[in-house]
Every structure is written in C-alpha cells, then in structure tokens.
Amino acid sequence: MRKDFLTLLDLTAQELNDIIDRAFEYKAGKAAPACPLLGKSIGIYFEKASTRTRISFQTGIYELGAHAIYINPNELQLGRGETIEDTARVLSRYLHGFVMRTFAHEKLESFAHNATIPVINGLTDLHHPCQALADLMTIKEKKGRLKDIHIVYVGDGNNVANSLIEAAVLTGINLVLACPRGYEADDNVYKNALSGGANVTIVADPVKAMKGADVVYTDVWISMGQDEGAEKKKKAFKSYQLNKKLLSHAKTDAIIMHCLPAHRGEEITDEIIDSACSVVLDQAENRLHTQKALLEVIIK
C-alpha cells in the first residue's frame, strides 16, 4: 500500500479486507502478543476537538508498543508563521508516523507531500477514512458480509458521507444518500465513485431512500467549524431526522449507525440511538481495532 492514508482509496480492495480481518483478530484477542511498533514514536496532531479519534489512536499506539506524542497546534511554530512544508520536513526527522486532524484537506495533502514518514488522515472537512474503516468492520460484524449490503445514509453530505462513497468503490456495498438539495456529498467524490463502478445514488426523499435498507446511518447536521447558516440548515434537514417513523420504511432487521457525537433530538432521536438495533457503541469501539490494524501495516 502507499505510505499515506489520506482517503479510503489509498487502499486497494484487498488491503482493506486485510485490515478489517486483522482488526477482528485484535478485537478477539487473537493477535500476536509481541508489540509490532516497539520503539516507534508517532505524532498525533489535532486542530479539531476529538473524543473517539484521539483516544482510540493514543490507546492503539500504546498497545502496539509505540509512543504517542500529542501535538497541540497552538504550541508549534506554525502559530508564528512557520510553513506547513517546513514543519512536515522537520517532524519527519523525529517521528515514525503522523496522524493529522485538520480542517482543509489541502493542508493534510501539503503536509503529506513534504513528509517522508507515513501520514494518516484523522479527519478533514472532506474525508474521514478512519471512521469508514470502523464502519465497514461493524457492518461485516453485524451482517456477515459487505458486498451487496444496502446502506442508507440520511443527512448532510459531509466527510463521513464522502468516505462511505469511497467505501462503495472498494467493497461492492449499495449506498443511497438521502440529502436535502444543496447539501449533497462532494460532487467530485461522487463522480469518481460512479466512474469506478460503485453503486451509489444520491436522492432528496428520505422516505423513498429507506426502502430495503440493511443499514441506516446518520451524522450531525452541523459539522465542527461549519456553524455559519446553522439555523437555515436545520430547517432544511427537518424531515431528515432519523426517528421511528422514518425507520419504519427500512427492513425490520436494519441496524442503526452514527459516528458520534450525536446531537440527540436533531438528526436522531433518543428512542432510535438507544434502541436494540443501534450499533453505535460497537462502531465507536471498532475505531480502536481498525486503527491498530492500519498502524501495523502503514508504520514501518
């Protein structure tokens, strides 16, 4: 595989399957006891607040025998005008890998282009590939397969939606995204997926989208750092709330997914996220296992 993991398409279909299989071994406690990354130091840089991404990476790095160095952007010389390019070149002399959570995807790409160590996307405004790894593991865990599983994503066409679209390219899942007009997933990501043969559809009607859903997925309507126009956006999304009425149009054994944090009472109701069909906590736990499997492969 390539040295960096900036989007899900940095993996081949086989590499993706291998990472998920390895993650299952980690979850089952069947992985070899040796620490494969012993003696390594991995930087984790976060411009955005984080619960699951930061803690799962720090824990996973420790469990693999490496040392996680948390980097606060306010404590780097970046805040005083040093370029992202120079920062990448210098940190490459100290570290064996770098996890970056930032806003603009272009900033991540610039860092990775100038770094000589593996760079992992911990989230940008455009992609959230580590979340997609855990999502796919959870679906396979609950449904026994990925190919031909029918996933319906309801809500904002954000970074999570974009990474699910790329997941469809690699796995053969059938993906329908129900988004209000003007809030669809990234057009380039969508068109690239279609050209790659993925079965992905974007629609505006959330009720029609639910038909035949094996998996129903939603996310917050207002992502971090995108508060401008929030009230207008909430009005546009009013009929996209994942509630009992909307879920009734899916299969009776459909599972519910949410990458968290959830804004309960907005994009999803308490009744649904706390129901027996919700797998959001398994989904969150699987961030740890998939990221350990990814780190083991990508950090040399």
285: nearest Cα among 8, 108, 60: 60
- Strand order in 41-46's β-sheet? 67-71, 41-46, 97-101, 119-123
- Give me the helices (H) in 51-179, please: 52-63, 84-91, 105-114, 129-143, 159-171
Which among 231, 250, 244 has a CA at the least distance from the CA of 275?
244
Instruction: Measure the CA–CA gap between 94 and 69, rounded to whole angstroms.
Output: 11
* Residue keyed to tokens 């993925």: 198
User: What is the spatial distance between Cα 180 and Cα 206, in angstroms, rounded to a whole number?
Assistant: 9
Taking CA atoms, 217 is separated from 136, 168, 175, 211, 250, in Å, by 12, 14, 10, 14, 12
Residues labelled catalytic: 101, 128, 131, 219, 259, 287
Joined together, the tokens standing for residue 163 give 């990474």
Cα 227 from Cα 233, distance rounded (Å): 9
Q: Fill in the DSSP letter of residue 116.
A: S
Give the Cβ contact number of residue 32 at 10 Å: 7
Compute CA distances 15 → 9, 108, 151, 159, whole Å.
10, 22, 22, 22
The first and second tokens of residue 144, run together, are 């026994």
